Amino acid sequence: MLKDEVLKLKKEKDIVILAHNYQVPEVQDVADFVGDSLGLSRQAAKVKQKTILFCGVHFMAETAAIVSPGKRVLIPDLEAGCSLSDSITIDQLRKWKKEHPDAITVGYVNTTAEIKSELDYCCTSSNAVNVVNAIPKEREILFLPDMFLGSYVSKITGRKNMQIWAGECHVHAGITPADIEKKLAELKNAEFVVHPECSCTTPMMYDIASGSYKNHQVQILSTEGMMKHVSKSDSQQFVVATETGILYRMRQQNPQKTFIPASENAECEYMKMITLDKVYRSLYDEKYEVKVAKKIADKARIAIERMLSIS
């Protein structure tokens, strides 16, 4: 059985497997750690193994390589990209910075290493509000690349001097307010957990900020925040607005609770490019290595470390 072969091979070669919450179930099943991109990068830095097989998209493997310069990072498919990461180029960022010479740049972790090397701060969906609040109120902020996360942060922090890049994740942008309305109307007792990258957050922003929406409890959370919340919550039924891959882990860890996707179509084609067969080939041939040039990695690490210091 392929699963057994993978488990045997990673042990023989002393390779640790990290898998993102959005990976297919059979890939999550062979991983040593499953989590969000930030949590997995932290694991990468901590593990004793010298080789990491990262089952996620390319920018995540790059981040792991940046925070673990002494380790080798492999990815099962080099084509596993990210529509959000692709929504800003290095030339566009440099031009934007020139237009706002005194601004502080804050970039979501869902960006390439090259983009990170041009940032003052990185942030994740779980600490974006805290990162922005840590910057003096009078300083202009350039926030990139996700416009929905940016709008959310701007509303919550009350910042009037925040410029937001018009990028989006094709999966989260596709979860519409209509999807949410329909699900919540059908499920009277469901709690609603939503990722701040979703386009559905914008029209509901003020209601959601107060913790409820049309008599439903609502939480805006990162993927790892969602995992923690659903296990602690007294609710028995949840509508989950993010990529559907996370439902597998939620159901595994909370078998007595019910999890319904806000949209069944919320699937990331890039995350799903990583298959168990590709994981096996990657282990067997020890390919494909993700490398970040030292000059870029050293600059990017500053922005990442600032992010890690703000919880």
Q: Please give the average pLDDT of every successive group of 10 residues along the chain, which has 311 residues.
A: 97 97 97 90 92 97 94 97 95 98 96 97 89 96 95 92 95 85 85 85 61 74 92 96 96 97 93 98 97 97 89 65
CB 224 within 8 A of CB 39: yes
CB 97 within 8 A of CB 311: no
**pLDDT at position 202, please?**
63
All domains of the chain in start order, with CATH = 2-82+271-292 (3.40.50.10800), 85-168 (3.40.50.10800), 171-261 (3.40.50.10800)
**pLDDT at position 108, please?**
92
**pLDDT at position 308, please?**
82
**pLDDT at position 176, please?**
82
Could you list the residues known to form a binding site for [4Fe-4S] cluster, using ranges.
Answer: 82, 169, 268
- Whether cis (ω within 30° of 0) applies to the bond prior to 288 is yes
**pLDDT at position 211, please?**
59
pLDDT in tens, 163-182: 999 999 989 888 887 888 88
Could you list the residues known to form a binding site, using ranges.
Answer: 20, 37, 82, 108-110, 125, 169, 195-197, 223, 268
State the burial class of residue 92 (Cβ atoms within 10 Å of its Cβ: 0-12, 13-18, 19+). Answer: middle
**Cα–Cα distance between 212 and 170 in angstroms, integer?**
26
**Which residues share a beta bridge with 241?**
194
**pLDDT at position 37, please?**
82
pLDDT in tens, 257-283: 999 999 999 999 999 999 999 999 999
**pLDDT at position 210, please?**
60
**pLDDT at position 209, please?**
58
Could you list the residues known to form a binding site for iminosuccinate, using ranges.
Answer: 20, 37, 108-110, 125, 195-197, 223
Length of the chain in terms of residues written: 311
Q: Which of 304, 303, 309 is nearest to 104 (CA)?
A: 303
